[in-house]
Amino acid sequence: MPDKLCYYKNKFYKLDDSGNLITGKIPSPYMNKKIPLFKTFYFREKRFNLDYFDSAYYKRATKQDFGVGTGINMVFQPVNGYPAVFSFGFVFSPRYIFARKENEYLYLGMPLTLGFSGTGDSKTIDLSLGIMLDLPLIFNYDYEFGSLKRGGSRFGYFAGGGIAYHYNKYSVSSDPAIAVQQVNGFGPVVNAGIRYSLSKYRIHSYELKFSYMKMIVESKPDIFGLGFIVNF
């Protein structure tokens, strides 16, 4: 049988054969928290066994169909006769996961980017910001190289495509001309990237993504994106 424990003043203590508290307390993540005493075997397994695997938690987490991520996105747009336009924005990325298997799954994502581009004349210090909006609907395939077993890789990759809406108001300059322009329309989009997970259960991850969009407007501009997202 495991050693007897006593929960006293929000801390755990061992008990001797006579039922008296042993001076040295047992380290616990539950110290200073007012919670009911839990079963001794659970405490010993969860705290001291580094290989402990909570299958109930993992099953609940992997059954979740919806996920969300947040991060940043940098957008580049080449303009004929002018320097490339650079925009910066923040990303909110909800996704619906389905067809999940041990090391792979499919998901439908909508990584919305709301950002800004510079407008105005930098020579006269007449600067302002234009709105940049990027809203793709993308179907992705995600593969994870490793597994939950010891030594498994935490890296994975994803790739897919779909359709996107893009709006950007910006200024471009080429001596001596300066012009404020905007693009607004839909077009096909593709993306690919890598993921890395720090958590033991591979539930949360960091994502580095590259995207390319071809807008279906008269000028048919190319829109390139480079984003970093934290998935929860």
Query: How does pLDDT run across 200-217, given as a tens digit for each residue?
Result: 777 889 999 999 999 998
Whether residues 187 and 100 fall in one domain = yes
Domain assignment present for 64: yes
Number of domains in the chain: 2
Whether residues 28 and 132 fall in one domain = no
Q: Which residue has the higher pLDDT, 44 or 62?
A: 62
Token pair for 71? 């991060």
Instruction: Find, among 66, 62, 4, 61, the residue nearest to 37 by Cα.
Output: 4
Whether residues 44 and 132 fall in one domain = no
Token pair for 157? 């990759």
Whether residues 86 and 158 fall in one domain = yes
Enclosing domain of residue 27: 5-48
Whether residues 87 and 107 fall in one domain = yes
Whether residues 93 and 17 fall in one domain = no
Token pair for 13? 């203590």
Q: Give residue 129's pLDDT.
A: 73
CA dihedral 43, 47, 53, 57 (to 10 degrees): 70
Residue 117 has pLDDT above 50, yes or no: yes
Q: Number of C-alpha atoms within 13 angstroms, CB side, residue 16?
A: 6
Q: How far is CA 124 from CA 121, 127, 170, 209, in A?
A: 6, 8, 17, 36
Q: Which residue has the higher pLDDT, 38 or 202?
A: 202
Domain assignment present for 30: yes
Q: What is the CA radius of gyration of the chain?
A: 26
Domain assignment present for 177: yes
Place of tokens 């905007």: 182
